[in-house]
Amino acid sequence: GENVEQHPSTLSVQEGDSAVIKCTYSDSASNYFPWYKQELGKGPQLIIDIRSNVGEKKDQRIAVTLNKTAKHFSLHITETQPEDSAVYFCAASRSGTASKLTFGTGTRLQVTL
């Protein structure tokens, strides 16, 4: 089955700096890679996703890059703000009805003033 590794487990950045979280996956057939943000006491919220037919996707201060050859993908947050502080999870799956998302172990991002 799919295995997703996520690094780092914790990340502390100063407000205004950039943050990068990296994930690797094992199943070369995986073609869907979402990122979720989980605030304390809440359920994970989808913040951005990418499919294997593109290499990069941006949404305001958030971007995701995908390297299919190396089987890794990354989340980039620019101009970080205190409200970006949360746990971020990457995930991978094959599209279609016969699969499920496999999540990374999460990264706790702390944005300090």
Q: Which residues are near another protein by CB under 8 A?
A: 32, 34, 36, 42-46, 49, 51, 89, 93-106
Our CB check for another protein shows the closer of 25 and 36 to be: 36
At its nearest, how many Å lie between another protein and the CB of residue 64? 14
- Find the largest Cα–Cα distance for the chain: 45
Q: In degrees, to the nearest 5, what angle opens at C-alpha 48 toward C-alphas 73 and 62?
A: 80
Strand duo 107-112 + 10-14: pairing? parallel
Our CB check for another protein shows the closer of 53 and 60 to be: 53
Measure the CA–CA gap between 11 and 100, rounded to whole angstroms. 28
Instruction: Please list the alpha-helical segments (H only) found in the chain.
Output: none
At its nearest, how many Å lie between another protein and the CB of residue 38? 9
Our CB check for another protein shows the closer of 43 and 69 to be: 43
